[in-house]
């Protein structure tokens, strides 16, 4: 059985604290200087804000009550300097945190890409690519937001609040106590909201990824959509997903913004209580208003950082949900990895041998059972049989897209399970049934077979693949962009480019997975010529539904129900009256088979 990819938690990500610890552990050391500068700037903002409130007593008492003109200029100059410092510090921390945040996003994008490349083919067979891409694009900013929210909240908002509370205590301890009486109920209410928000945020992310995934799939399959008039059907499906996502987004908005009436109500109670107390002291106690004005200024300035800190847990819940979903991908590890001490594959004859190989997918479906055959070096071995016989699975086991549940696969006597996957695949070239072209030019797509290949080698491979002439007919020749998955080229042209990619690799083993089954007769003839060139002098394992393409194979392996039932040449197998190959050959009645019989 093919082992599935598994998740392994490095640090607990079940809580906000767990996520925060992990993000800091992975990124904090690399950005110590940047964060230190940002924290210094944020502390400057907090200090200048507290200074503005503190100096209000002097403004009111010295300028308005005592009317000391010589002091006014000093006070005004000090306020101007405080605001200039605050502006510069705000700019500095904003730029510093943005640079750090952008670097973190870029780092995790690279990390996600390389990690996805390390996962097994089985993972991608089960995961929906559109859903995966949407999930990554939506959630990768969560890592950045966790750190930035933490730094700004503690270095700016918390320091500012502490400094302003200090001013309030200095000016009037009793008024400060009145304000703090309303804080505990507010914190309890916000904690309740944040717990409900966590679940709603995760559901919204899932629904939004489904929306983006559905749109991407529709765009990619637009020809099928229009050919089968699926517009209305898919439209209803997408509408229902969008409606569900909209409802979830509205619920998140209600939960998130529920903090506003809570904070405003409690702030109103605090400020009205303070004003009432201060008014009675001024009216009946004859206390100078300067201290009161300084206190009120500090209280009003403290409102914004207090409100932001009150919403911090709600915002962190949303950011950590995003970050947690990214870590679910990053923590996914494949068991199909190189053995400790795995060596390099050494290829001489490129002889491939299957010994008692059995295989089942993770679902438990058994595909191969005790498969034995040999593909001789430098010769062509064809796999034929009805659909579902296990031919494609055999092909996929050779490059270790999957590992067999039992048995061995040997290349020149070396068990491929004992060598590194990279050294194994360097000796293989692969042409799939559905050729895939990547964004870029024709030259780029051929050169992916061997990045160090020269332009002359690329063009020689194209000639051998019978692609050179149609490439020169393109608007920019080899530098013509191919469009998304080669949409500007025909099926036969795309297939010949994939053969050229295999040829430029110059590998001793060539794997062909029904490379002509989806082509018309003319394209098949051109591609078959290219394949004949590609197979020359190599060990070839080829799958074909059309027996006309394998009549010249050195050996034909006939499979049925995951087992090898016949082996031989075309002539030998066709002459067996009760054989499976003979029956398939008679059903197809190909001109090539008739000519040889």
pLDDT in tens, 444-468: 999 998 999 999 999 999 988 888 9
Residues 206 and 315 in one domain: yes
- Contact assessment for residue 538 and residue 549, using Cβ atoms and an 8 Å cutoff: no
For residues 280-301, average pLDDT: 72
- Does residue 528 lie in a domain region? no
Taking a C-beta distance cutoff of 8 angstroms, is the pair 480, 441 a contact? yes
Cβ atoms of 354 and 371 within 8 Å: the answer is: yes
Per-residue pLDDT at 532 exceeds 90: no
pLDDT at 50: 87
Question: How many angstroms separate the CA atoms of 452 and 430, rounded?
Answer: 18
* 525, part of any domain: no
> In sequence order, which ranges of 258-288 are alpha helices (DSSP H)?
259-285
Contact, 326 vs 112, CB < 8 A?
Answer: yes
Q: Are residues 296 and 374 in the same domain?
A: no
Residues 315, 345: one domain?
no
pLDDT band, residue 287 (cuts 50/70/90): low
Helices marked H in 258-379: 259-285, 289-330
Residues 473, 554 within the same domain: no
Q: Are residues 237 and 101 in the same domain?
A: yes
Which among 560, 565, 582, 585 is positioned nearest to 573, based on CA atoms? 582
**Do both 125 and 106 map to the same domain?**
yes
CATH number reported for the structural domain that contains residue 449 in this entry = 3.40.50.300
Q: Which of 303, 333, 363 is the last residue of a domain?
A: 333
529 within a domain of the structure (yes/no): no
Please name the residues in contact with 197: beta carbons below 8 A apart, sequence gap of 6 or more.
252, 255, 256, 314, 317, 318
Fill in the DSSP letter of residue 507: -
Q: Are residues 439 and 584 in the same domain?
A: no
The phi-psi region of residue 30 (left if phi > 0; otherwise alpha if psi is between -120 and 50; otherwise beta) is: alpha
Q: What percent of the chain has pLDDT over 90?
A: 19
DSSP lists the bridge partners of residue 357 as 371
Q: How far is it, in rounded angstroms, from Cα 3 to Cα 361?
A: 8
Residue 520 lies inside a defined structural domain of this protein? no
Domain count, the chain: 3
Give me the pLDDT at residue 583, please.
87
pTM assigned to the model: 0.69
How far apart CA 203 and CA 245 sit, in angstroms, is 8
For residues 92 and 37, is the Cβ–Cβ distance under 8 A? yes
By DSSP bridging, strand 555-560 and strand 539-543 are unpaired
pLDDT band at 66 (very low <50, low <70, confident <90, very high): low
- Residue 271: give the domain boundaries: 6-333
More confident residue, 508 or 65: 508
pLDDT tens-digit map of 358-383 = 998 876 778 999 999 999 999 999 99
Total count of residues recorded for the chain: 597
Residue 594 confidence (pLDDT) above 60:
no
The answer to whether position 400 is within a domain reads: yes
pLDDT at residue number 490: 82
Mean pLDDT along residues 301-308: 78
Q: How confident is the model at residue 186 (pLDDT cuts 50, 70, 90)?
A: low
Q: Is the pLDDT of residue 36 over 50?
A: yes
- The helix/strand/coil state of 6 is strand
Tens of pLDDT, residue by residue over 262-275, are 666 776 776 677 67
Residue 531 lies in a domain: no
Q: What is the pLDDT of residue 229?
A: 74
Pairing of strands 509-513, 563-568: unpaired
Q: Is the pLDDT of residue 316 over 70?
A: yes
Q: Residue 396 contacts by C-beta under 8 Å, 6 or more apart in sequence? A: 121, 402
Residue 550 in domain = yes
Residue 44: which H helix or E strand, with range? helix 32-54
CA distances from 65 to 55, 57, 58, 74, 172 (A): 15, 10, 10, 17, 19
For residue 592 the two structure tokens come to 């090539």
**Residue 414: strand, helix, or coil:** strand
The β-bridge partners of 382 are 542, 556
pLDDT value of residue 31: 87
**Residue 398 in contact with residue 387, Cβ under 8 Å?**
no
Q: Look at 273 and 569; give whichever has higher pLDDT.
A: 569
Q: How far apart are CA 236 and CA 206, in angstroms?
A: 19
Lowest mean pLDDT among 13-22, 251-260, 422-431, 557-566: 251-260
- CA-nearest of 545, 556, 537 to 516 is 545
Q: Which of 463, 482, 506 is the last residue of a domain?
A: 506
User: Do 307 and 456 fall within a single domain?
Assistant: no
Whether residue 256 has pLDDT greater than 80: no
The pair of three-digit structure tokens given for residue 22, joined into one six-digit string: 């992990």
Contacts of 365 (CB under 8 A, 6+ apart): none
Residues 201 and 350 occupy one common structural domain: no
Tell me how far apart the alpha carbons of residues 502 and 515 are, in angstroms, rounded to a whole number.
Answer: 12
For helices 289-330 and 183-220, angle between their N-to-C axes, nearest 10 degrees: 40
For residues 378 and 363, give the distance between their C-alpha atoms in angstroms, rounded to a whole number: 36
Cα–Cα distances in angstroms (integers) from residue 120 to residues 32, 124, 410, 417, in the given order: 36, 7, 21, 14
pLDDT at residue 597 in the model: 39
Tokens of 52: 């503005």
Q: Looking at residue 374, what is its pLDDT?
A: 95
Instruction: For residues 289 and 408, state if they share a domain.
Output: no
205 or 312, which is more confident: 312
Residues 592, 445: Cα–Cα separation, whole Å: 34
Where would I find the H helices in 181-258? 183-220, 222-227, 231-257
Tokens at 535, concatenated? 């197979």
133 in the same domain as 106: yes
SS3 413: coil
**Higher-scoring residue by pLDDT: 381, 193:** 381
Q: Give the CATH number, domain containing residue 328.
A: 1.20.1560.10
Cβ atoms of residues 63 and 73 within 8 Å: no
pLDDT category at 478 given cuts 50, 70, 90 is very high
Please give the structure tokens belonging to residue 145.
């937001």
> Across residues 217-223, what is the average pLDDT?
70
Q: Which of 315, 333, 351 is the last residue of a domain?
A: 333
Shared-domain flag, residues 178 and 37: yes
How sure is the predictor about 14, in pLDDT bands with cuts at 50, 70 and 90?
Answer: low
Q: Which of 167, 410, 186, 391 is nearest to 301 (CA)?
A: 167
The answer to whether residue 522 is domain-embedded is no
590: confidence class by pLDDT, cuts 50, 70, 90:
very low
């Amino acid at each position: 059985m093919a082992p599935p990819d598994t998740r392994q938690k490095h640090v607990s990500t079940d809580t906000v604290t767990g996520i925060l610890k992990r993000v800091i552990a992975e990124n904090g050391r690399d950005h110590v200087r940047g964060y230190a500068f940002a924290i210094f700037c944020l502390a400057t903002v907090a200090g200048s804000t507290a200074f503005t409130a503190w100096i209000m007593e002097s403004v009111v008492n010295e300028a308005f009550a005592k009317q000391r003109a010589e002091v006014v200029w000093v006070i005004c100059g000090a306020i101007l300097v405080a605001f200039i410092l605050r502006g510069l510090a705000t700019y500095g921390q904003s730029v510093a945190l943005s640079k750090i945040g952008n670097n973190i996003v870029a780092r995790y994008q690279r990390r996600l890409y390389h990690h996805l490349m390390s996962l097994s083919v089985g993972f991608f067979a089960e995961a929906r690519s559109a859903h995966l891409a949407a999930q990554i694009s939506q959630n990768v900013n969560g890592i950045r937001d966790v750190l930035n929210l933490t730094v700004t909240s503690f270095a700016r908002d918390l320091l500012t609040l502490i400094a302003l509370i200090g001013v309030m205590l200095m000016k009037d301890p009793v008024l400060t106590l009145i304000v703090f009486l309303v804080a505990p109920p507010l914190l309890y209410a916000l904690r309740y909201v944040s717990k409900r928000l966590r679940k709603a945020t995760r559901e919204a992310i899932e629904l939004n990824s489904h929306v983006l995934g559905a749109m991407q799939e529709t765009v990619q399959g637009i020809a099928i959509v229009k050919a089968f008039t699926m517009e209305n059907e898919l439209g209803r499906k997408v509408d229902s997903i969008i409606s569900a996502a909209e409802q979830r987004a509205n619920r998140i908005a209600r939960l998130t913004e529920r903090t506003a009436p809570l904070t405003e109500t409690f702030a109103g109670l605090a400020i009205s209580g303070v004003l009432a107390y201060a008014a009675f002291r001024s009216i009946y106690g004859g206390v100078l208003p300067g201290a009161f004005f300084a206190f009120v200024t500090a209280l009003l300035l403290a409102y914004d950082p207090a409100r932001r800190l009150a919403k911090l847990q709600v915002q962190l819940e949303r950011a950590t949900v995003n970050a947690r979903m990214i870590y679910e991908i990053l923590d996914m590890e494949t068991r199909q990895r190189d053995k400790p001490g795995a060596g390099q594959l050494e290829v001489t004859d490129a002889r491939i041998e299957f010994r008692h190989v059995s295989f089942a997918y993770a679902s438990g479906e058994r595909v191969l059972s005790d498969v034995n055959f040999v593909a001789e070096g430098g010769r062509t071995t064809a796999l034929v049989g009805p659909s579902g016989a296990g031919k494609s699975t055999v092909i996929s086991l050779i490059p270790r897209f999957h590992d067999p549940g039992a048995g061995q696969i040997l290349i020149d006597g070396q068990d491929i399970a004992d060598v590194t996957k990279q050294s194994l695949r360097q000796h293989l070239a692969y042409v799939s049934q559905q050729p895939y072209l990547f964004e870029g030019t024709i030259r780029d797509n051929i050169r992916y077979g061997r990045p160090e290949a020269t332009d002359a080698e690329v063009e020689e491979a194209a000639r051998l693949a019978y692609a050179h002439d149609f490439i020169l007919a393109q608007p920019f020749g080899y530098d013509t962009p191919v469009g998304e998955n080669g949409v500007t080229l025909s099926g036969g042209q795309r297939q010949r480019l994939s053969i050229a990619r295999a040829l430029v690799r110059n590998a001793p083993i060539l794997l062909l997975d029904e490379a002509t089954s989806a082509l018309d007769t003319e394209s098949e003839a051109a591609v078959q010529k290219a394949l004949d060139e590609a197979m020359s002098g190599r060990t070839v394992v080829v799958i074909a539904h059309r027996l006309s393409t394998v009549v010249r194979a050195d050996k034909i392996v006939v499979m049925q129900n995951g087992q090898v039932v016949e082996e031989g040449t075309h002539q030998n197998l066709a002459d067996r009256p009760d054989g499976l190959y003979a029956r398939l050959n008679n059903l197809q009645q190909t001109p090539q088979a008739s000519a040889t019989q």
